[in-house]
């Protein structure tokens, strides 16, 4: 009873306030201010946890240094003892145990089937990826007598800390928790102030928007290109979600006795250079490939949209500066740009690849969004909004962004296709994510093992076809959406 009465008075109060000039929007803002504060606080705590967890792991102990060798008449090389190191750890190759007079030291280091030569007694190195390496020390004295010694270096993955293991869980948990907390706070505040949790206007608006989206979905499904795209993507989307759970074999487990097997009943598409079932890899690769494509396309689109909206809306010299920078980024050869970004990112894992593709792919979107903003900016409703005193941010949020969003969305879908292709190309050219299986890495290993020449066509054809079909799905859907959402093309 009490609450009901309270609600009643509140409504009356709001009516009077409305009459005296304070708008409902303003009151809504005032009410939700504490909610925003709480949300910001939660996000700050979450971000600081994230930062702490990303801090580097403590160093390992000093590597082992040389032992003594017997003195003979010629020079005797001593490369020290075999090393076991961690990825990225700096270690020292020390040839000081070698005996002889006036020696020249040459280290040749074999790593990932490539040999590099270093001169000097002591060499300091580190390796970016796990695996094995061989270091050959050749010593030559002044009478050009030589001797050599070899050590093996085993490069291990760093032990996973608790945070490494559960980082993704914490991340997603944090984001979901933050959103849930925000919703909870808003609901509680509204209930306490006696408002409806969802106002009638808002409900109506949501329903209208929903109906509009339903119409778009119907149009997409009625368009033959869109229908094919949706079907293909549904299939591969399900594969991406469930694929890794239905693989017949573990894709991370190597069977070095069963490498390069031909297709059989046991292994449907044979096994690869590490003895891993290719069919399992194909199923597993659906998730990683689509993940790389989608996430990097989203990163690129968000960056591009922000740059485009800013540059188009602000105009003037700031726009000029941003667009010239954009031109520069757009002009630089794509692959070289990625390599340079990769050199900054350092060791490449799946996240690294996603960042590289995402951070280099935004300039085209930016240019397109800017063009659209320029045309939307001049429309009458924007002028009207400005005339009634809307703030810049609210004009962008309520008028400009909603009118560019369809374009951005259709473009994102097309960018996903390009990103998947980029990933496979990067992998093929040797920049593959370490310890992950994507369709791109499969192709790259297959071509390194010259699968075609040895009669293992399916090793190359299967992942390639998967890429083609997925890219086709995204392209078709993108075109269909473009046709439906882009008013200029609508009339055909």
Helix/strand/coil (H/E/C) assignment for every residue in 21-58: CCCHHHHHHHHHHHHHHHHHHHHHHHHHHHHHHHCCCC
Handedness of CA 324, 326, 328, 330 (dihedral sign): negative
Give the DSSP H/E element, type plus range, for residue 119: strand 114-119
Site track 87-106 with another protein (rule: CB under 8 A), x = hit = -----------------xx-
Q: Minimum Å distance from CB 375 to another protein? A: 14
Instruction: Between 153 and 414, name the residue whose CB sits nearer to another protein.
Output: 414
Looking at the Cβ atoms of 28 and 428, the one nearer to another protein is 428
User: Looking at 121, 163, 227, 231, which residue binds another protein (CB under 8 A)?
Assistant: 121
In the list 230, 407, 476, 480, the residue contacting another protein (rule: CB under 8 A) is: 476
Residue with tokens 């060791």: 347
- Dist CA 218 CA 345 (whole Å): 43
Residue 223 has which token pair? 């368009």
> What tokens does 84 get?
């076991």
Comparison of 186 and 369: residue with beta carbon closer to another protein: 369
Applying CB under 8 A, does 460 fall inside the site for another protein?
Answer: yes
Name which position in 4, 114, 211, 265 contacts another protein (CB under 8 A).
114
Q: Considering only 47-55, 69-77, 328-336, 347-355, which stretch makes contact with another protein by CB under 8 A? A: 328-336
Of 45 and 469, CB closest to another protein: 469
Q: Confirm if 405 and 376 have CB atoms less than 8 A apart.
A: no
DSSP code for 277: B
Provide the 8-state DSSP code for 378: T
Residue 210 or 430 with smaller CB distance to another protein: 430
- Write out the binding residues for another protein, residues 38-97 only, by CB under 8 A: none
- The residue (of 20 and 453) whose beta carbon lies closer to another protein is 453
Q: Is 324 in the site for another protein (CB under 8 A)?
A: yes
Cα angle 160-56-432, degrees, rounded to a multiple of 5: 65
Can you tell me which residue has the tokens 């659209």?
Answer: 372
Q: Report d(CA 4, CA 9) in Å as an integer.
A: 9
Degrees, nearest 5: CA angle 51-55-60: 170
Q: Which of residues 410-439 bind another protein (CB under 8 A)?
A: 417, 421, 424-425, 428-430
Direct distance between the N- and C-terminal alpha carbons of the chain, in angstroms, rounded to an integer: 61
- Whose CA is closest to 352, among 435, 429, 237? 435
Nearest distance in Å: CB 262, another protein? 18
Shortest Å, Cβ 473 to another protein: 9
Q: For residue 87, how many other CB atoms are within 10 A of its CB?
A: 16
Quickly count: other Cβ atoms within 10 Å of residue 141's Cβ.
17
Shortest distance, position 308 Cβ to another protein, whole Å: 18
- Grouping H, G, I as helix, E, B as strand and the rest as coil, residue 111 is strand
- Contact string (CB under 8 A) for another protein, positions 141-160, x = contact: --------------------
> Which residue, among 294, 361, 355, has the nearest Cα to 326 in the 3D structure?
361
Q: Which residue of 70, 343, 388, 393 would you call a contact of another protein, by CB under 8 A?
A: 343
> How many other CB atoms are there within 10 angstroms of residue 116's CB atom?
10
If one asks whether residue 331 binds another protein (CB under 8 A), the answer comes out as yes
The residue ranges of DSSP E strands in 17-101, in sequence order, are 83-86, 91-94
Name which of residues 203 to 242 contact another protein (CB under 8 A): none
**Min separation Cβ 442 and another protein, Å:** 11
| 491 lines the binding site for another protein (CB under 8 A) | yes
Residue 447 engages another protein in binding (rule: CB under 8 A): yes
Minimum Å gap between C-beta 481 and another protein is 14
321 sits in which H/E element: helix 316-331
Tell me the site size for another protein, rule CB under 8 A.
49
Residues that bind another protein (CB under 8 A): 104-105, 114, 118-122, 324-325, 327-337, 339-340, 343, 417, 421, 424-425, 428-430, 443, 447, 452-453, 460-461, 464, 467-469, 471-472, 475-476, 488-489, 491-492
């Amino acid at each position: 009873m009490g609450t009901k009465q309270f609600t009643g008075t509140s409504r009356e109060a709001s009516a009077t306030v409305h009459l005296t000039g304070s708008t409902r929007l303003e009151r809504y803002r005032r009410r939700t201010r504490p909610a925003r504060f709480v949300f910001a606080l939660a996000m700050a705590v979450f971000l600081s946890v994230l930062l702490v967890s990303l801090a580097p792991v403590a160093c390992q102990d000093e590597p082992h240094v040389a032992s003594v060798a017997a003195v003979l008449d010629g020079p005797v090389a001593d490369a020290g003892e075999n090393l076991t190191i961690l990825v990225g750890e700096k270690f020292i190759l020390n040839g000081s145990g070698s005996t002889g007079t006036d020696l020249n030291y040459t280290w040749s280091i074999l790593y990932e089937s490539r040999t590099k030569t270093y001169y000097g007694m002591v060499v300091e190195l580190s390796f970016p990826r796990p695996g094995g390496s061989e270091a050959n020390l050749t010593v030559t004295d002044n009478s050009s007598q030589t001797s050599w010694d070899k050590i093996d270096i085993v490069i291990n993955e760093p032990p996973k800390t608790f945070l490494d293991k559960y980082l993704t869980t914490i991340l997603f948990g944090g984001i979901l928790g933050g959103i849930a907390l925000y919703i909870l706070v808003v609901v509680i505040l509204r209930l306490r102030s006696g408002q409806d949790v969802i106002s009638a206007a808002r409900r109506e608006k949501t329903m209208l928007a929903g109906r509009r989206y339903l119409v778009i979905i119907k149009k997409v499904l009625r368009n033959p290109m869109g229908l094919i795209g949706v079907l293909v993507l549904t299939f591969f989307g399900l594969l991406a979600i469930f694929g890794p759970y239905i693989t017949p074999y573990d894709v991370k487990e190597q069977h070095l006795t069963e490498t390069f097997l031909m297709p059989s009943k046991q292994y449907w598409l044979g096994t690869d250079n590490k003895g891993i079932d290719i069919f399992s890899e194909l199923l597993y690769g659906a998730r990683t490939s689509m993940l790389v494509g989608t996430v990097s396309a989203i990163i690129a689109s968000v960056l591009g949209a922000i740059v485009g909206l800013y540059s188009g809306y602000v105009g003037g010299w700031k726009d000029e500066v941003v667009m010239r920078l954009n031109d520069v980024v757009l002009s630089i050869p794509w692959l070289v740009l990625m390599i340079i970004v990769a050199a900054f990112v350092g060791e490449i894992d799946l996240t690294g690849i996603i960042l590289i593709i995402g951070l280099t792919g935004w300039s085209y979107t930016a240019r397109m969004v800017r063009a659209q903003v320029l045309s939307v900016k001049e429309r009458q409703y924007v002028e009207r909004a400005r005339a009634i005193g809307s703030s810049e941010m609210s004009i962008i949020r309520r008028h400009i962004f909603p009118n560019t969003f369809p374009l951005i969305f259709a473009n994102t879908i097309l960018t996903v296709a390009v990103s998947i292709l980029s990933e496979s190309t990067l992998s093929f050219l040797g920049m593959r994510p370490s310890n992950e299986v994507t369709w791109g890495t499969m192709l790259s290993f297959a071509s390194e093992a010259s699968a075609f020449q040895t009669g293992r066509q399916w090793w190359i054809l299967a992942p390639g076809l998967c890429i083609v079909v997925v890219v086709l799905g995204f392209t078709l859907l993108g075109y269909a959406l473009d046709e439906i959402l882009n008013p200029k093309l609508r009339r055909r």
